[in-house]
Amino acid sequence: MTVMRRLLFGLLVLVLSPLAIGAAGAEDTIPPGTKITMQNWQQYKAFMPDGMIALFEGQYAWKMPSDVEMEVGPTNIHPLPKPFWDAVEKYSSQTRLVKLPNGAYNIENYVSGVPFPHPSGPDKGTQIIDDVTFRPGGVLYTGFPNLKGNAESSFCTMDRFGSKACTRVDYDYRQLAYNWFPGIPHTDPHAAGAWYGEWLMVEVPEESKYTADLTLFWQDVTRLPDDFVFIPALRRSLRLSTSARCAPLFGSDMTHDDQRVGWNGGASVFEGHYLRDQKILALVNMTHADGTFPENYDMPLGWARPSWGKWEVVPVWVTDVRRIPSMAAGYCYGKRVMYTTQAYYANVHEDLYDSNLKLWKVVNIGLSPAVDRLHPEWGLQYFGGIIEQYWDMQNQHVSHVFTADREGNDLTPDIGWGTQYDNVQLYQTPGGLMQLMR
């Protein structure tokens, strides 16, 4: 190619692709103030997860509303607490990921913090799974009608005919071991071998009240989580089979393995395949406008309105997560593609595929930073309110699961500490379920 032809070629590129250059920018980001709409979204595809692109392309029944508007703001990163990083620096160098004969994984010498703060090597994807499992958060998350300042969670669903239903759920989530919080025992004396407990109970509608669900994750990570349900009509609790990990939670499109901010599968029977680094658009500094359903939602999709806050460009790891082959038969998801924030180890988007590897659910996860009640000196942390939105692309069903309410209350981590809700035996044991309705 002659010099003149090279110059002409270069000028041609500049003329034909200014949109792409403007979208990425010199620093590989989107300028704050940019508004993404149906008219210009393709300029910003490089900053979108695959499921978001599918919603914009309109190839499924669920598609972006014609009036969609995503305003981009500056990227804000709230630093994680020093005690968390102290634990990471002290213990992570001794942690080892060990593959067992059946293909499952064990984490040896794990003590506290995230086990693999800088995932790398051939097991990078599986290390990311483990970091998301043990990501930083509050010790106690509570939502009850009488707990001032916090709201119960809502599970709001809509089908292809536009029929809507909402279930309001009390919750009590507790970290029982591997604690790094100052002044909190590393292992709770009532842990009984568990490291994390998730308790949910229906408050509304009245006909389902007292239906409760308890999940326990064990300090021996090779032990599968246990799920228990309290059935009011029987006045008793039942232990569910391991296949219940795929069962819908309170009639929603969320399963037990989705339950804890998009990832609840544990650290043993899943394997991750790291795909790439990417910068994507995410709602990580949300307002509490999502607590008003459906008025504050861009319907019929139920997408975020501008009142929810500005979208930010955040660096993520993209990981293909699958059950280990020896335990994959009969499992609901063929693969889960996770988009995990590199700054705080939380998922902000997921694409879920069925056993035939066809796109099944698109999941958007929004975060609302909050100040931990026990340590306000840490400032805003990514321990606060959330929304998880599950669009079932195959069955035209959607679920919006959120912690805010219409009055602007949202999740405040550890607000229940030292109150009646700080009760491991009542909320994190199967025996505690039998205390309901008494």
Convert the pLDDT of each residue in 303-328 to its tens digit: 999 999 999 999 999 999 999 999 99
Report yes or no on 402 lying in a domain.
yes
Q: Which domain holds residue 391?
A: 130-433
Alpha helices in 58-104 (DSSP H): 82-91
Tokens encoding 437: 């309705």
The total of structural domains in the chain comes to 1
Convert the pLDDT of each residue in 167-192 to its tens digit: 999 999 999 999 999 999 999 999 99
Band (pLDDT 50/70/90 cuts) for residue 24 is very low
pLDDT at 8 over 80: no
Convert the pLDDT of each residue in 327-354 to its tens digit: 999 999 999 999 999 999 999 999 999 9
What pLDDT shows up at residue 73?
A: 98
Band (pLDDT 50/70/90 cuts) for residue 9 is very low
pLDDT at 101 over 60: yes
Band (pLDDT 50/70/90 cuts) for residue 27 is low
Band (pLDDT 50/70/90 cuts) for residue 242 is confident
Report yes or no on 421 lying in a domain.
yes
Percent of the chain with pLDDT over 70: 94
Lowest mean pLDDT among 11-20, 160-169, 236-245, 266-275: 11-20
Band (pLDDT 50/70/90 cuts) for residue 282 is very high
* Best CA proximity match to 115, nearest among 96, 143, 102: 96
What pLDDT shows up at residue 17?
A: 33
What pLDDT shows up at residue 149?
A: 84
What pLDDT shows up at residue 281?
A: 98
pLDDT at 219 over 80: yes
Band (pLDDT 50/70/90 cuts) for residue 437 is confident
Q: Is the peptide bond before 205 cis (omega within 30 degrees of 0)?
A: yes
Report yes or no on 374 lying in a domain.
yes
238 or 16, higher pLDDT: 238
Report yes or no on 156 lying in a domain.
yes
Band (pLDDT 50/70/90 cuts) for residue 65 is very high
Q: Residue with structure tokens 């940019």?
A: 34
Report yes or no on 279 lying in a domain.
yes
DSSP code for 72 = B
DSSP 258-325: GTTTT--S-SSSEEEEEEEEEEEEE--S--SGGGSTTTTEETTTTEEPGGG--BEEEEEEEEEEEE-G
Query: Cβ atoms within 10 A of the Cβ of 205, count?
Result: 11
What pLDDT shows up at residue 244?
A: 86
Band (pLDDT 50/70/90 cuts) for residue 292 is very high
1 or 204, higher pLDDT: 204
Lowest mean pLDDT among 32-36, 123-127, 237-241, 280-284: 237-241
Report yes or no on 345 lying in a domain.
yes
* Best CA proximity match to 214, nearest among 223, 222, 204, 225: 225
Convert the pLDDT of each residue in 122-149 to its tens digit: 999 999 999 999 999 999 999 999 898 8
Tell me the pLDDT of the chain averaged across its residues: 93
Alpha-carbon distance of 68 to 305, in angstroms, equals 8
| Mean pLDDT score, 228-245 | 90
Alpha-carbon distance of 335 to 360, in angstroms, equals 10
Task: Encode 126-138: b = buried (16+ Cβ within 10 Å), e = exposed.
Answer: bbbbbbbbbbbbb
Report yes or no on 412 lying in a domain.
yes
Alpha-carbon distance of 63 to 57, in angstroms, equals 7
Report yes or no on 33 lying in a domain.
no
| Mean pLDDT score, 202-224 | 97
Tokens encoding 408: 């602007």
CA distances for 242 relative to 141, 223, 238, 239, 291, angstroms? 25, 11, 13, 9, 33
Convert the pLDDT of each residue in 102-121 to its tens digit: 999 999 999 999 999 999 99
* Best CA proximity match to 432, nearest among 268, 213, 178, 277: 213
Sign (positive/negative) of CA torsion 192, 373, 171, 289?
negative
* Best CA proximity match to 246, nearest among 261, 264, 220: 264
Percent of the chain with pLDDT over 90: 90
Contacts of 294 by beta carbon, 8 Å cutoff, 6+ apart? 156, 158, 164, 302
For the chain, what's the residue count? 438
Contacts of 296 by beta carbon, 8 Å cutoff, 6+ apart? 289, 290, 305, 307, 308
**Which CATH number is 321's domain given?**
2.50.20.10
* Vertex 351: Cα angle to 178 and 118 (nearest 5): 40
Band (pLDDT 50/70/90 cuts) for residue 20 is very low
pTM, whole model, 2 decimals?
Answer: 0.93
